Amino acid sequence: MRESFYRWRKIKSGLVSALCLLCAVLVIAPLGLVFFHLLREGASAVNWSFFTNLPKPVGEIGGGMANAIVGTFELLGIAALIGVPTGVLGGVYLAEYGSVRVNWLLRFICDILNGVPSIIWGIVVYGLIVVPVKSFSALAGGVALGFIMIPLIVRMSEEVLLLVPNGYREAALALGIARWKMTLHIVLKTALKGLVTGVLLALARVAGETAPLLFTAFGNRFWNHNLHDPIAALPLQIFAYAISPYDDWHRQAWAGALVLVSMTFLVNVAVRFLTRSRSAALAK
């Protein structure tokens, strides 16, 4: 009697363990598959000319995505200029100043905005900038990405700022330091690593956005450093090449995807590194 009860318990425990393992594998498998597939299909096309050349006209073999890579960074730069100050200041307001009721409303709005499909942002900016100016532009693309970043960064920086113990705020105020100076020199400085982490994650998140760029940055086969003209971006180029009928372009699309995924991967590794040294410093 006792014996069988024991066996049944062991079987149950084994079953549940196996189930957990299966789920873990299911979670990790897509990442492995994606990387494996990207490497197999794209690695051969990732070479020096991929990073330095412009796309070749249809039919010619070779060429690269130099303009799209640089374009992605330009778009991220514009997005950061809009999203980082606005987002961080919004987070500062929520964590340091706002009243209970206003904060509730702001958080609610941010959470809704975070759930808005990114293509909607493209349409919004299309209406706001592209239509009045009558031209797709790098500026419009950057603004669309920036808009996506704002609610992300507001929520992340609020959480990071709330992690700063209240004792530091009180200590600073008890010295007769003005509130805004306390926020700037004590709270933001203490939370700096967390804020950088949040910003990097938000940048990594929008770096791969394609839909909001379709109606805004539009894409460009050539170099463009003028904010008022359409600009190339990696996700757009990947999209354009992937739906084309040419084998060489397909290879290049794989290569572009590999580069994009590697970039986000590197950012995530950097973030891990930053947060690790932060928790080590706090543990002291």
Partner 1 sequence: MKNVMEHESTISADTAALHAMTDAEQSPAIAFEVNDLSVWYGQKQTIFNTTIDIPAQSVTAIIGPSGCGKSTFLRCLNRMHELVPTARHEGSIRLFGEDLYAPKIDPCVVRRRIGMVFQKSNPFPTMSIAENVIVGLRLNGVRDRAYLDERMEKALRMAALWDEVKNDLNRPGISLSGGQQQRLCIARAVAVEPEIILMDEPCSALDPIATAKVEELIYELKKQYTIVIVTHNMQQAGRCSDYTAFFYLGRLIEFAKTEKIFTNPSQKQTEDYITGRFG
Residue ranges that bind partner 1, judged by CB under 8 A? 99-100, 165, 167-178, 181-182, 185-186, 189-190, 192, 281-282, 284
Nearer to partner 1, 169 or 251 (CB): 169
Closest contact distance (angstroms) between CB of 100 and partner 1 is 8
| Separation CA 74–CA 171 (nearest Å) | 42
**Cα distances (Å, whole numbers) of residue 16 to 26, 27, 56:** 15, 17, 55
Report the SS3 class of residue 19.
helix
Closest contact distance (angstroms) between CB of 165 and partner 1 is 7
DSSP string over 209-243: --HHHHTTTB--SS----TTS-B--HHHHHHHHHT
| Separation CA 74–CA 186 (nearest Å) | 32
Nearer to partner 1, 177 or 227 (CB): 177
Closest contact distance (angstroms) between CB of 76 and partner 1 is 28
Nearer to partner 1, 58 or 282 (CB): 282
Closest contact distance (angstroms) between CB of 158 and partner 1 is 17
Nearer to partner 1, 173 or 227 (CB): 173
Closest contact distance (angstroms) between CB of 161 and partner 1 is 14
Nearer to partner 1, 28 or 178 (CB): 178
Q: What angle do CA 44, 72, 261 make, to 5 degrees?
A: 45
Please report which helix (H) or strand (E) contains residue 91, including its range: helix 66-92
Nearer to partner 1, 1 or 174 (CB): 174
Nearer to partner 1, 96 or 209 (CB): 96
| Separation CA 256–CA 46 (nearest Å) | 8
Burial 253-283 (b: 16+ CB within 10 A, else e): bbbbbbbbbebeeebeeebeeeeeebeeeee
Closest contact distance (angstroms) between CB of 85 and partner 1 is 21
Cβ 8 vs Cβ 215: under 8 Å: no
Cβ 145 vs Cβ 209: under 8 Å: yes
Closest contact distance (angstroms) between CB of 197 and partner 1 is 16
